[in-house]
Chains A and B, each alone.
Chain A
Amino acid sequence: MPLDINEDNLKHGVLGLVMALVEVIADALKHQAYRRMEGGSLTDLEVERLGLALMELDAAIDGIKEQQGITESVKAVRDGLDNIVNDVVNKLINPEQWEEVAREQRN
């Protein structure tokens, strides 16, 4: 894939990548927070504070994306990541595909 770089798409690319990573981390945080809440190791007050913090994080991420007009490029990065993970999982649960892929590569 050829790279076509100018000031504008550089911003989209780099910022999009950074925000996508931030989103992934935020998702991981949310997941952990959720598990702790469900595990019962947090008091109500702690859950409330955690929830508020995560909510603000979400709002901040959305705000930046909108301001910078990078919603689309963030989505593109995340979709790309999703596809990679899907492929890997797909291969793991369908080992018979390995043969197919190997054959294609040989050809």
Chain B
Amino acid sequence: MNYLYIAMALREAGREINERNMRKVITATDVKVNEAELRFFISAMSILSMPNPDNGGVKSHSPIEKEQSLQQQWKFNESESAGMPEDAEREQILPLAKTPVEEDIERIAPAESRVVHCVEPTDSKDALYVYGIADKGVSVNLGPIGLDESEVYTIPYNSICAVVHDCLPIPYQSNDNEVVKIWVLTHQKVLDVVAEKFDAAILPMGFDTIIRGKEKLERKQPVKDWLEQNYEDLIKKMTRIKGRQEFGVQVLWDPKIIAGLITETDDEIRALDEEMKSKPKGMAFMYKQKLEKLVKQKMEAMANERFKEFYASIKGRVDDILVERTKKPENGMQMLMNLSCLVEKDAVQGLGEELERIEGMNGFFVRFTGPWPPYSFVTAAKI
């Protein structure tokens, strides 16, 4: 890749590797700039937070200032970036160079699937891990109940407060699923404790939501600013979820039972079945395939129909509903639908009754989980 050589040459020459300098060199060599390739290259370079030649090994624990200047060095040149499709893309690349405080929020739950920055570790706990926002404007120390027994406390602003602990400006991540599980459970538990203690409505944040200011301000300031800037929006969201809980509803069916039911009841299939019996062996084999295809078709139609039916009846019993992607089912079951429902506390029973009705249908099974804090309805992306 020629761009790599150009970048190396720039580095040798002690120049900054950015789009403009790259462009200069490329045009100087009388080659037409391949826009897409160049952008991709710059993005790729920016995430390789390589140290300068003069500061030694890759694993050096450089102080934050240096790290920031390093990030800046790889920065995609803003003035010439008009063609970039999404601002978001640039932000992903430069987590530390973002300006507005609210954009320092990174939601990376579930932790195992996404990892945020390529930040080298520093020793100062100058960032804040945010569990959630509660609708009480109090400043309380909750003791060492946080992740890895961190001291959890609240930062009030007006009538709301953020539930936080001091942390390093790096996300919690581990390859050990058990460790991650404990973290996520602890995250959840902290929110439960807060909800109980304050009798408050909680706007939960996703696991690994970490806020960090751009400069070395007082540590709490970015959170305060963020609360202030988003105050009305947060209040609005809080009102929406107050007194409501999230439940997960998954409807599954056992394809064997359903196929059996269809075979017994469907006239078309029964007719084909009869016809098959009267045929010689070889032809019957071919008919069997025809039969299987037909059953599959009917099952798909039925799944569709049931989905609509269940969706309508569940929707009538909850405040809000989100259709999640169905997961790959285990032990031969198939998942028909996977929903997240926002339910008022008093309405839970109604939903439960409807789900019992579904569970009572032959071949159908319901998985009902909760109550959860309404994560799915207040993700940081929506705030």
A76 to B207, alpha carbons, bound, how many Å? 34
| CA gap between A61 and B47 in the complex, in Å | 51
Please state if A50 and B286 are interface contacts (CB–CB under 8 Å): yes
Decide if A51 touches B114 in the complex (CB within 8 Å): no
CB of B220 within 8 Å of the partner chain = no
Confirm or deny: B331 has a beta carbon within 8 angstroms of a beta carbon on chain A.
no
Cα–Cα, bound, A49→B180 (Å): 59
Q: Does A4 contact B (CB under 8 A)?
A: no
Shortest distance between the CB of B332 and any CB in chain A (Å): 13
**B-side contacts of A54, CB under 8 Å:** 285-286
B47 to chain A: closest residue by CB:
A106
In residues 266-321 of chain B, which contact A (Cβ within 8 Å)?
280-286, 289-290, 293
Q: Total interface residues on A, using CB and 8 Å?
A: 19
CB pair A107 B281 closer than 8 Å: no
* Contact in complex: B118, A55 (CB < 8 Å): no
Binary contact readout A6-37 vs B (1 if CB under 8 angstroms, 0 otherwise): 00000000000000000000000010011001
Interface size range of chain B in the complex: 20 to 34
- CB contacts between A and B, total, < 8 Å: 52
B67 to chain A, nearest CB (A): 17
Q: Is the interface of A mostly helix, strand, loop or mixed?
A: helix
Contact string against B for A residues 44-64, beta-carbon threshold 8 Å, 1 for contact and 0 otherwise: 100111111111000000000
Minimal Cβ-Cβ distance residue in B for A103: B92
Q: Chain B residues near A37: list those with CB within 8 A.
A: 286, 290
Contact with B along A81-107 (1 / 0, CB 8 A): 000000000000000000000011011
Q: Is the CB of B289 within 8 A of A104?
A: no
Q: Kindly list chain A residues whose C-beta atoms are within 8 Å of the C-beta of B92.
A: 103, 106-107
A48/B93 contact (C-beta < 8 A), A34-B289, A54-B285, A104-B114 known: no
Most buried by B among A34, A54, A106: A106
B47 close to A51 (CB less than 8 A): no
In the complex, 11 of the A-B residue pairs with CB atoms within 8 angstroms, ordered by the A residue number, are A48-B283, A50-B282, A51-B281, A51-B282, A52-B281, A53-B282, A55-B282, A106-B47, A107-B92, A107-B114, A107-B116
Instruction: List chain B positions with a Cβ less than 8 A from chain A.
Output: 43-44, 47, 92-93, 113-118, 280-286, 289-290, 293
The 9 A-B residue pairs with the shortest CB-CB distance in the complex, in nearest-first order: A51-B282, A52-B282, A48-B282, A51-B285, A51-B286, A55-B285, A107-B115, A48-B283, A51-B283
